[in-house]
Structure 1
Amino acid sequence: MVNRDVSLSVLLSAGRSGLHRIGRTQVSAVEQTSEQFAQRLFEAALGTVDILAIHLGDRLGWYSALAAGPADAAELTTRAGGDRRYAQEWLEQQAATGILTVTPDGRFALPAGPAEVLTDTNSLDYLAPLARMLAGAAVQLPALVRAYREGGGVGWSEYGTDVRESQADMNRPWFEHRLAVDLATVPDVHALLSAPGARVADIGSGGGWSSIALARAYPDLRVDGYDIDPPSIAMATANAADLADRVHFHHADVTTDLPESAYDVVFAFECVHDMPYPVEVLSAARRALRPSGVVIVMDEAVDPDFASPASDVDRLMYGFSLLVCLPDGMAHPGSAGTGTVMRAEQLEEYAHKAGFTTLDILPIENFGFWRFYRLTV
């Protein structure tokens, strides 16, 4: 059963970077006048423009160039490349929307706060990949319309580099700075990872940053990452080049390819909700455990129940679900069709069907968008 004593404090918090739950601030649909809803839609349009413009600046390297100092369009394109006329328009838009400031000599400057959020890949506040994820998903709108109308889905490979890399880049600071620190506060998990000869599996390993963080924190640990996406395996292998003696990535279907009784811990970081066959995956993870081993699932820190209006985090997760996660899962026949908003009771149901007896919510708080679950037999 879900450990309710632990869960309450975790459910009330979603983390840093403006991700704190701030209550259900949205006006309900029945209370909105036409003028209020028109204003809301107008503000959403402004936000959409900002997201897409941030994506341009991120991908062109213009924010990184501005982090080196103020620039006009000519200086910016000299530093980072690009077309001067487009650069002028982008700089003016960024200043008009309040991201950049204008110096007395007419150049454009990137203040320290936005610079950290948009360029510091080591910061827990780094959110440029969020714009990249949404922009990458928007490219697939024709395919999404078709899937919504006819059924089926849009597979992960179809979303391409922007979406693949954005997920890895957004998770990376949290894995590098917080993962091992927070897992060390859970005594049984820390003991398993610290034991001589310990081995772990990281299923749905993506860019590999979770595997890398675990290996660096536990010098004797051997890590096997598994993913069904070949470009992700290539990316992870390159990222972990200095740990190649202890960290290995495998292109595999974990429902059939996980070795039995091989691992002390099986991790699934932000991937179970994407999986078309979560019960089969969790069953394979259970079989892969050594005696006294555990499965740790990190997934979205959504509210325990559906609500209308919902918290800001739930609203964002529904957005990811509509545009990426549900279509990805639905691209496979017979999919469970979970979607991003996988609540604790849904995961508990999957876990019980997979042969686990207990699901606990770990006391790891303020870890970005995410919550940690421990599954035991």
Structure 2
Amino acid sequence: MAVPLFDTATALEPLRDRLDEALLRVARDGRFVLGPEVHAFEEELAAWLGARHAIGVANGTEAITIALRALGVGPGDEVVVPSFTFWASAEAIPPTGAVPVFCDVDPDTMCVTAETVAAAVTPRTKAIIAVHLFGNVAPIAAIRERTGLPVLEDAAQAAGSTLRDGDGTVARPGTMGDVATFSFYPSKNLGAFGDGGAITTSDDAIAERVRTLRFHGSADKVDYVEIGYNSRLDEVQAAILRVLLPSLESWATHRHRVDARYRAAGLGELVTLPEAAPGSAPAWHLYVVRTEEPDALATGLGARGVGARGYYRTPVHRQPPMAAFQAGGLADLPVTDELARTHVALPISATMTERQIGEVVDGVAAVLAGR
């Protein structure tokens, strides 16, 4: 049987009537920008996460740029960011006038650590971008304690993940740093029917500046206090996200179970599995494993109808447009380079079945045995 890398449709089937109703509600109301649906979704998302503020924006990339500016990042500053991540994590820095400085990651969690971040900090560093990569949870508290710098959580891939600390308190990505950003691109754990994003924070001053920046640098479209952006989550996407948000917990729980079933089925005997950060329960957005010939494995699985692919084969710091920001030469990031060479994503979804899990494990075994 075919097993897609992503299955975003099956989980939506029980919600189709409610989604249709939401779309019709927006169409009949006639307010399409910063209306009641956006306001309600912002309140519901903030409450679900445990943050004081959630502010909808146009997409996850602009969310990072706006959040950095709200932290005071500007020309002459540096922002530390991992290279083993999606391009947007670093692409969003230069529009602030700041320069990206690349750091390495942990080989097991594939996230930044306090040590890898600290190694890249200079006197010009104004902020840290810590990516909760593939749904794993970066050690935000340790990074803040080690560096003393503001931390922006790039939580685009971590909706539904949790972290339990030593006293049993459970926190969600989006509430651990000074500010956090989300993407609601359709393939995300919480995906809209188009582009969308959000910025979350419990700092009132940051939230106020974010709201001003997303709306042309104005609070009222009459008086303008700075150069801002036209970056607003629209009513249609907000209405859809309001329908989906209550299901995110159960979808994340199912993703945890798929990880457990992969392990029980012996996948870890064939490839190197991702390791959850200590205390975390990742809602795996991507299930990224490692093997010596990842592209050959992906090709072989594809021939069997099983989706698989590499994502960050060329790390961000090695992409040509980033050369201009590395005047001293390319950063030396050995773990990043190794992960880029050896990783491959296998199927995972909120509705993946036991049979599909078996197909993936059997397919990996067959392809590797054939080589």
State the TM-score, normalizing by the size of structure 1.
Answer: 0.28
The structure with the largest alpha-carbon Rg is 1
Which structure features the higher share of helix residues?
1
